[in-house]
Amino acid sequence: MSLNLESKKAVVAEVSQTLKSAQTVVIAQYSGVTVSKMTTVRANARKSNVYLHVVKNTLVRKAVEGTKFAPLADQMVGQLVYSVSDDPVAAAKIVNEFAKENEAVKIIAGMYNEKLLDVAGVKQLAAIPSRNELLAMVMGVMLQIPSGFVRCIAAIRDQKEQAA
């Protein structure tokens, strides 16, 4: 279905607004993916606060003009799905998982920290723990510190009792 000029402007404005606060953008080809699989990945993206949409490449090229994501414009060829996130790794994780589960999905490129990423770079970014995962790790360590301290004090007490 063809979009009229006003609809196109609205799409460009929406994508531009999303890109303003974004840290990461990942693009992938999705040709041959079933509707049910796309619905599943979109639901996963929503849960992770990732903007995941299929948008006309010409409209996204207009939206990235003059932004830190402008270098991605050269990569925007073919049937693409765009993954955008404020979290540095969320967009990469969503697309990487989607590509692992579906052979038809091929990661094309990405951008993080104003650097253009190739497929290997996107996969490497996806391997980094997310902010929430890092916080959980820190909390786990913090919970172990008091118990370790208590065990150490108990060992000292036991040692002094044996010496006495």
Tell me the pLDDT band of 6, cut-offs 50, 70 and 90.
Answer: confident
Architecture of the domain spanning 5-128: 2-Layer Sandwich (3.30)
Domain ranges of the chain: 5-128, 130-164
DSSP, res 72: G
Please state, in angstroms and rounded to a whole number, the distance separating the CA atoms of residues 129 and 132. 8
14-67 pLDDT, tens per residue?
998 888 889 999 999 998 899 999 999 999 999 989 999 999 999 999 999 988
Q: What is the pTM of this model?
A: 0.77
Sequence-distant (≥ 6) Cβ neighbours of residue 43 within 8 angstroms: none
